[in-house]
Amino acid sequence: MVKKIISNGLLASGLLLFAGCSYSGSAYNPIVKPSSVILAGHAPGAPSLSRASDATQTAWFSLQQAAMYTLKSGNKYFAIDKPKLISNTDGSTMNTPEEFAVKCTSSGAASAGSAFDAFGIGEYGCRIASGPHIKAGFIEIVTYKEKPKTILVYDADEVIAYLKSHELFVEEDEYIAKGELNSKSSAMYQSYTNWYRGKRDK
């Protein structure tokens, strides 16, 4: 019995140790940036049996929202601020939809984040789809009128063109019709944003 308690205790300690070691990042960031905008959204359609596929859809939908928000706000370029894994403001070199496809979607060979699909827990789509619901995506962006010289940015028009040419673009009518509108006035947007802020600011 004592042996069992000791061995279980050791295993539990191991778990706690992994928790502490699993993340590290530099707090030093020399890139001065304007304030970021949080975009919280719910990808269209009901969740499927494949979380990886849902996460991919959420990641693309979030990128579409980033591009659309940029253009609607009268700007042309955007940089991702969070998730940190793909943060341009933290020095990520990823700034094209082609690279996004490789790193953040299930079609990519080296999809970033855990693919712990069978157990229903994991980080998918470069941590964009890691909310209370796999179809909920969170992305923080900074937008620019002119292409900045101090940071790598996405061209919003190029992102939209890529999504359309690859049949990944979701027409606004489609997600409004399905009751999954991500508008700033919607209760869903507010509740998702509040959930995300609470998690992010911890």
Residues that bind another protein (CB under 8 A): 4, 7-8, 11-12, 14-15, 18-19, 21-26, 28-31, 84-85, 90-95, 110-123, 147-152
- In the complex with another protein, which residue's Cβ is closer, 100 or 175? 100
Provide the minimum distance between the beta carbon of 40 and another protein in the complex, in angstroms, as a whole number: 20
- In the complex with another protein, which residue's Cβ is closer, 8 or 191? 8
CA atoms within 13 A on the CB side of 121: 1
CA nearest to 54, candidates 2, 130, 3, 109: 130
Provide the minimum distance between the beta carbon of 176 and another protein in the complex, in angstroms, as a whole number: 34
Tokens linked to 89: 């403001």
Provide the minimum distance between the beta carbon of 92 and another protein in the complex, in angstroms, as a whole number: 6
- In the complex with another protein, which residue's Cβ is closer, 82 or 135? 82
Is residue 138 within 8 Å of residue 131, measured between CB atoms? yes
Is residue 100 within 8 Å of residue 80, measured between CB atoms? no
Provide the minimum distance between the beta carbon of 62 and another protein in the complex, in angstroms, as a whole number: 19
For residue 83, is the peptide bond before it cis, meaning its omega torsion is within 30 degrees of 0? Answer: yes
Provide the minimum distance between the beta carbon of 63 and another protein in the complex, in angstroms, as a whole number: 18
CA nearest to 84, candidates 135, 24, 42, 40: 24
- In the complex with another protein, which residue's Cβ is closer, 149 or 202? 149
Provide the minimum distance between the beta carbon of 118 and another protein in the complex, in angstroms, as a whole number: 5
Is residue 76 within 8 Å of residue 153, measured between CB atoms? no
- In the complex with another protein, which residue's Cβ is closer, 146 or 173? 146
Which residue type is seen at 179? G
Strands 37-42 and 136-144, by their bridges, are antiparallel
Report the Cα–Cα distance between both ends of the chain, in Å, rounded: 39
- In the complex with another protein, which residue's Cβ is closer, 65 or 70? 70
